[in-house]
Amino acid sequence: MEVPESLYSTVPCRRQQTDLLLALFGEKTHYTCPSIFIYGHTATGKSLVVNTVLQKLKLPHVQVNCVECYTARLMYEHILNQAGGVVPSPENDYASYARCDNMNEFLRLFKQALKETDKEEETFYIVLDKAERLRDMDMNILPAFLRLQELASGNLCVILISEIVWEKFRRGTGFVEPFVVHFSDYSKDDLCEIMALDCPVDYSEDFYLSYIKLLMNVFYQVCRNLGELRHLAILNFPKFVEPIKSGEAGQGDVRKLWRNIEPHLKKALQTVYLREVSSAQWERMQQESTATESGASSTSTPIPSNVARANVELPFYSKYLLIAAYLASYNPAKSDRRFFSKNAGKFSRRSKLAKKHERTSNQLLGPKPFPLDRLMAIFYSIVEERVAPTANIFLQISSLVTLQLLAQIASDDQLDGPKFKCLVSLDFIKLIARTVHVDVVRYLYDFV
Amino acid sequence: MSTAGSVSKACFVFKSKQKKVANPEDYFCHDTSDSTAQTRHRAFHTLWDELNTEIQILQSDLNTRIFDDLIQFTQNASSKFTFDPDDSTHQRVAYEIPTAALVTGVNMPDHDVMFANLISLVREKVSLYVAVLKSNDCPNVKSVMVKSITQLMGNKDMMDDSIDDGDNTTVNIKKINCTMSTLAAWYADKFNKPSSPKKKRSSSGEGIETSRCPPLVIVLEDLEGFPPHVLQDFVLICSNHLTDLPIVLILGIATAVTAVHRVLPHSVSSLLCIERFQAPPSTNYLTQVINKVLMTPRHPFKLDAKVFQLLLDIFLYHDFSVLNFIRGLQFGLMDHFYSNPVSCLCCPLEDSLETVKTLNHQNLEEMRKTASFRKYVESQPSKDQILLLTDDKHLKKVVADLLYSMDNYHRCFFPMLDCLHCLVKKLPKHPLGKQVREVYCECLKGNISETEAYKDAFSLLKAMSKDEMTILLHQCIDRLAQEDVPEELKSIPNNLREFVNRFENLEDLTQTVGDTTGDDENTEALPKKTDMHTLRKTLLERKKKKLTVYEVIRTDTVEYLNEICSKYLACPRSQPLHEIFYYDSASEIRRHINGAPRTAIQTALSNPYFYLQNPSLQGESNSVSPALPDVCIIYKLHLECGRLINMYDWLQAFITLIHTREGAEEEEDPKQPDKKLQARFIRAVSELQFLGFIKPTKRKTDHVARLTWGGC
């Protein structure tokens, strides 16, 4: 089978894997092994390699994204549509090739569809991307796809692509072991080479590569995801070339450019993976920050700090309810008497000793469920004035649940004493408590 | 009715004859002897309509800025989209779904209106293809897909329908597979035609600037409510089709943008290109509503201190929801007109003067009964008193006068209130509060000039520096120079300006006055013979007296301000006939708006007389009497028990109690209680279980668990 040279250039740094796949595929009419399982981290070129190979060599194939086909029926019909060459359009009322509800029908229809095509002898490839979703579907689907060649008795190959290892797929019986191919992570040099492909037209490739290398020095420690790195590279490039555009530095003036970009990259380092701002907003922020640096009186802070990002304005009693929920979640129930009743005894020496052993454990173990009664009892004792138990108070608990600050667990029956968990962090609750002048730490078992 | 004789056992629906639709007017006019009921009902409607339109205008104005930004964003996001797959810019953009994170705040009841406004704006300005998803319709991926695709494809394209009927776009949604590929095919068919001159012309005719490829806007109203896996899958699916569909997401987030990261793992959130939009907080909106609707002489209806405070408390303490505040206001308005007979005069001045003429004797008697009017009568000379109480014609004249003065009072009141707010809002520690509504509330409570807070504020004003003082005065002058200020207050800005002038000419004055005071001091001799103590006192006093010119002017200014404030900011309750305009039954509002279900149930069980009003139940709130309904007896008995209740003991106690009434004549075998009593007992127990006080438990046989704590 002749291989067009452009194949390797479109998928750089994956020559070994490409060759392996080509070897497995063989000639067009050869039988390929019934199933191939490809796995590797995110952004290691799995789908890209498979798709480019299939497209460049013009092999008959079907691509299925298992997330998109959320029921088995959709998946069957999707495969049949593509195999049978049916394109949903207004002319056919967006109908599919045929209605197909189960694997049996699928096999029958699929054989029929293959016969209709003129390339019956050639290997037909079915690519199942995000194959881990197949495990959640009916039990028979995964084994059946692995044996599709046998079941449909045709020249077929099923390629499964996933981010997790094959061992996690074994469930139930009837598996045929697929041929497993691993896509290893890109090395640092590979990453640079690939990212250099994004080079904008106005600049030379060498210049862009040097930029990428600078960027990698900063970010490689915290982030090896190609997608994220590419995003960062594109985001920060305009800032990098700013001195060149303004004529302050030439393309070769690496040191100057570095000094210019360094603080911005440091800032970007704090928000890696967050993607809270779009590229456009980021640029606006950058401009604002340069404006403030140059002495203009702009009051807006360019990058919101961690605390400010999570800031939520809550009604007065909601704050108290949330604090009460936090205390109920992180304090053992037997300590309530000590914190909230007037004439509570001090800790005995022995319990203090016992506590030493489990010190900070509550914070590490995470929130524990508590019943509604306990929440209300703590709530009444931390709110200074008398609060009538009106519908509005209980309404707030459920709105805290919808805001996902609390979580209701288990009990479906409202009468059956519902239980809750508090989902917010210590920092968040401290912030909330400060606004109502409650010292939460004083009430927390772990810190007393 | 032939089906009634059918042999099959099934449910049949018999539609009743058209029921008379309940007419609110009938409720209003339940008392036929009251002739003003209709007038009141009409006044209520006109007034509420006015308020409502004003509130709606406010609502749409409030969000204009953020909505403009959002519209801009959606337009930009879609403008890059083309069907040409080789376009390099397109390739790069296609990695991320343009996403607007609209941080809406926690006042969830208000969001419906906000989103409705936003969606209609988007439809009008950006794209007709908008899908709205709410978390409670979307428990799984399938429902999300079906919902969004039906909304997008089922959209009746107005432009196309009018022009070419042959190319009908409505698709039979039920039959198709709801997948993105279907949607993509549909979209390509609609907009990827090589030339569509027809469409272009028609769109320009409609005045809607739709680009050739309008974006598909998908709005998720409450991000927090969606199950995480559903949202993740949905985002993944959308991003797979970015190359052939210009999808724009708008995420409504009630808490903070971090919620996105809590719901979506990085692999998914990196597919989004999020831009944040912060909606203005609901407190702003509330302030505007209060300013425009309550604190204005234009609308006659006002809330009294208690009601106002109650509604504010519900807002600030419970939900931050302006919608609920407005509902409370509406209820107050309705109840005011419903329950208060004199409220027929609660309308704009001209109308009320007309109404006064038509009042009959009975209405005027009502007027005479009001507390404020009686107070007013007592303050009049005795000759007038008799006239007022007996002569209807005279009374009408007086009422008209009083209405005039009330109107005038309101006209002066609110500009002065703003002035006072200007003066006190920046004071250290805010003795009268930061917001104008707090000052207003103080004014409603009583005569503000007599309160401690007011005195504190003015003593702080007396300690101000010159610059601060002049700024404040200028602010007051500006406020009083506005158009709505009545004639009566026109002189005040001039007086204030004079004070400002005096402050500015201070430098010239200092010396002249300084000399004279110096002279005074010299002439005044010390008393010759004094002890140390009195000498010190006199010296100290003298030192105090030695005021600079600036201080003199400042004291004068503050005195003047104090004078006008106490004159115009008198408590509305001191005005005669304030009952016409002010609604004060806070308990009514509390009962209806801020209900306490638990208290109600407990009252019903422990004191059934409260609701049943049956004389035989009277006075039984503390003791357990056999006359009570069974469930009440059971409830009271269960209060005496601990966490677990033994059913048998409970039954015995119940039987004993019942028997005390029947005189305990028939001695029964206690082991074999009466079947009827047993049945009554079981029914009462299951009622109690239904009310949520007890539940069956497996911890101990023949026991039930209590779900409430606290004894009797």
d(CA B308, CA B319): 16
- Note the pLDDT tens digit of each residue in A382-408: 888 888 788 888 888 888 988 888 988
CA distance A74 to chain B (A): 7
Kindly determine whether residue A275 and residue B262, on different chains, have CB atoms separated by under 8 Å.
no
Mean pLDDT of chain A: 80
Predicted local distance difference test score (pLDDT) of residue B525: 55
Kindly determine whether residue B281 and residue A278, on different chains, have CB atoms separated by under 8 Å.
no
| B233 touches A at CB < 8 Å | yes
Q: Which residue has the higher pLDDT, B93 or A128?
A: A128
End-to-end C-alpha distance for chain A, whole angstroms: 74
d(CA B106, CA B448): 34
Query: B687 - beta bridge partners?
Result: none
Kindly determine whether residue A417 and residue B237, on different chains, have CB atoms separated by under 8 Å.
no
Predicted local distance difference test score (pLDDT) of residue A37: 93
CA distance A331 to chain B (A): 21
d(CA A424, CA A404): 9
Residues of B in contact with A71 (CB under 8 A): 142
- Note the pLDDT tens digit of each residue in B400-425: 888 888 888 888 888 888 888 888 88
Kindly determine whether residue B316 and residue A315, on different chains, have CB atoms separated by under 8 Å.
yes
- Which of B101, B171, B320 is opposite residue A315, by nearest beta carbon? B320
Predicted local distance difference test score (pLDDT) of residue B206: 37
A-B Cβ pairs (cutoff 8 Å, strict): 163
| B267 touches A at CB < 8 Å | yes
- Note the pLDDT tens digit of each residue in B321-374: 888 899 899 999 988 888 888 888 888 888 888 888 888 888 888 888 888 888
| B105 touches A at CB < 8 Å | yes
Predicted local distance difference test score (pLDDT) of residue B169: 46
Residues contacting B347, CB < 8 A, separation 6+? B43, B46, B47, B300, B355
Predicted local distance difference test score (pLDDT) of residue B489: 79
Q: Which residues of A415-434 are buried (b: 16+ CB within 10 A; e: fewer)?
A: eeebbbbbbbeeebbbbbbe
How confident is the model over A275-282, as a mean pLDDT? 58
d(CA B99, CA B251): 7
Q: Please say if the pLDDT value at position B519 is more than 60.
A: no
- Which of B92, B224, B236 is opposite residue A67, by nearest beta carbon? B236
- Note the pLDDT tens digit of each residue in A24-47: 888 888 888 889 999 998 888 888
How confident is the model over A314-338, as a mean pLDDT? 89
CB of B579 closer than 8 Å to CB of B370: yes
Q: Which residue has the higher pLDDT, B248 or B212?
A: B248
Q: Which strand (E) or helix (H) includes residue B703?
A: strand B703-706
Residues of B in contact with A315 (CB under 8 A): 106, 315-320
Radius of gyration of chain B (CA): 36
Q: Residue B171's pLDDT band (boundaries 50, 70, 90)?
A: low
Kindly determine whether residue B707 and residue A231, on different chains, have CB atoms separated by under 8 Å.
no
Kindly determine whether residue B317 and residue A316, on different chains, have CB atoms separated by under 8 Å.
yes
How confident is the model over B565-593, as a mean pLDDT? 86
Predicted local distance difference test score (pLDDT) of residue A324: 93
Q: Residue B10's pLDDT band (boundaries 50, 70, 90)?
A: low
d(CA B144, CA B147): 5
Q: Please say if the pLDDT value at position B587 is more than 50.
A: yes
Q: Please say if the pLDDT value at position B166 is more than 50.
A: no
ipTM over 0.90? The verdict is no
- Which of B76, B189, B317 is opposite residue A315, by nearest beta carbon? B317
Q: Residue B172's pLDDT band (boundaries 50, 70, 90)?
A: low
Nearest to A279 by CA among B99, B65, B223, B246: B99
How confident is the model over B84-98, as a mean pLDDT? 57
Q: Which two tokens stand for residue B284?
A: 């702003």
Q: Please say if the pLDDT value at position B685 is more than 90.
A: yes
Assign B219 to helix, strand or coil: strand
Predicted local distance difference test score (pLDDT) of residue A39: 92
Predicted local distance difference test score (pLDDT) of residue A2: 67
Residues of A in contact with B236 (CB under 8 A): 65, 67-68, 130
Kindly determine whether residue B318 and residue A281, on different chains, have CB atoms separated by under 8 Å.
no
Predicted local distance difference test score (pLDDT) of residue B712: 38
Residues of B in contact with A391 (CB under 8 A): 594-597
Kindly determine whether residue A403 and residue B177, on different chains, have CB atoms separated by under 8 Å.
no
d(CA B661, CA B644): 28
- Which of B101, B108, B237 is opposite residue A68, by nearest beta carbon? B237
User: To the nearest whole percent, how much of chain B has pLDDT over 70?
Assistant: 80
Q: What residue in B sits closest to A314 (Cα-Cα)?
A: B106
| B243 touches A at CB < 8 Å | no
| B220 touches A at CB < 8 Å | no
Q: Please say if the pLDDT value at position B162 is more than 50.
A: no
Residue B710's alpha-carbon distances to B74, B640, B700, B707, in angstroms, are 57, 9, 22, 10
User: Comparing A131-140, B15-24, B286-295, B382-391, which segment has the lowest mean pLDDT?
Assistant: B15-24
Alpha helix (H) ranges present in B280-370?
282-289, 305-313, 322-339, 349-358, 361-369
Predicted local distance difference test score (pLDDT) of residue B89: 47
Mean pLDDT of chain B: 79
How confident is the model over B149-173, as a mean pLDDT? 54
CA distance A31 to chain B (A): 31
Kindly determine whether residue B276 and residue A276, on different chains, have CB atoms separated by under 8 Å.
yes
Predicted local distance difference test score (pLDDT) of residue B175: 61
Q: Which residue has the higher pLDDT, A300 or B82?
A: B82
d(CA A96, CA B179): 11
Q: Residue A413's pLDDT band (boundaries 50, 70, 90)?
A: low
Q: Please say if the pLDDT value at position B433 is more than 50.
A: yes
Q: Residue B146's pLDDT band (boundaries 50, 70, 90)?
A: confident
Predicted local distance difference test score (pLDDT) of residue B32: 55
Predicted local distance difference test score (pLDDT) of residue B684: 94
Q: Which strand (E) or helix (H) includes residue B374?
A: helix B371-379
- Per-position DSSP letters for B548-572, written without gaps between them: -HHHHHHHHHHHHHHHHHHHH---G
Q: Please say if the pLDDT value at position B530 is more than 80.
A: no
The three-state DSSP-derived secondary structure of A132-193 is HHHHHCCCCHHHHHHCHHHHHCCCEEEEEEECCCHHHHCCCCCCCCCEEEEECCCCHHHHHH
Kindly determine whether residue A391 and residue B314, on different chains, have CB atoms separated by under 8 Å.
no
Residues of A in contact with B686 (CB under 8 A): none
- Which of B142, B267, B315 is opposite residue A42, by nearest beta carbon? B267
In degrees, to the nearest 5, what angle opens at C-alpha A46 toward C-alphas A41 and A51? 160
Predicted local distance difference test score (pLDDT) of residue A414: 54
Q: What residue in B sits closest to A310 (Cα-Cα)?
A: B256
- Which of A227, A388, A403 is opposite residue B255, by nearest beta carbon? A403
Predicted local distance difference test score (pLDDT) of residue B518: 43
CA distance B265 to chain A (A): 10
Predicted local distance difference test score (pLDDT) of residue A120: 72
Q: What residue in A sits closest to B272 (Cα-Cα)?
A: A275
CA distance B55 to chain A (A): 22
Kindly determine whether residue B599 and residue A389, on different chains, have CB atoms separated by under 8 Å.
yes
Predicted local distance difference test score (pLDDT) of residue B485: 76
